Amino acid sequence: MLPVGKTNVSGTYTGHLLSVMGAVAALEQLRQPDFYPKLNANAARLYDGINEIFQRRKIKAVCQGLGARFGIFFGIDSLPITDFRKAAASFDADMDKKFISRAFARGLYFRDPGRRIVPGHHGISSAHTTQDIDDTLDRLDDIFVTF
């Protein structure tokens, strides 16, 4: 089919049936009434659980998130984090690297964008179940026994 009119729209996957069907399926899931409440409940369970582990294990760190995206701030011990300069000045990058390495060894993947002055962002998805969150928290608790 040739373009009609004065505007030409193109893109790698523009109009490809599989891409369009995937986008439509994703939008259908996002429109379900329980989609965001379930996602946000799992996120809160994870963030609260991580912060409880930090407090119980006396780890100077906090987890702060919004929806399904979050950061773990080593070297900071109070929430909410609202000041970038303060967070950057306090962030313990060495502890963060140690955590990411130990988590990976326990089968947990936390994004590591490389050298930085604040934590990378992490996330969960709608595919994660409450059991997945609880399993993650159990593994994290094991990691922080000897931190």
pTM: 0.83
Q: pLDDT class for 57, splitting at 50, 70, 90?
A: very high
Give CA 52 to chain center in angstroms.
18
What pLDDT was estimated at residue 120? 80
Q: For 129-135, what is the mean pLDDT?
A: 97
Q: Do residues 38 and 29 lie in contact, with contact meaning Cβ atoms separated by under 8 Å? A: no
**What secondary structure letter does DSSP report for 119?**
P
Q: What is the pLDDT of residues 114-127, one digit of tens each?
A: 777 777 889 999 99
Q: Do residues 40 and 47 lie in contact, with contact meaning Cβ atoms separated by under 8 Å? A: no
What pLDDT was estimated at residue 10? 72
Which two three-digit tokens encode residue 10? 């193109």
- Percent helix, strand, coil in the chain (nearest 5)? 50, 10, 40
Among residues 79, 70, 71, 54, the alpha carbon closest in space to that of 117 is found at 71
For the chain, list the domains and their CATH numbers.
34-146 (3.90.1150.10)
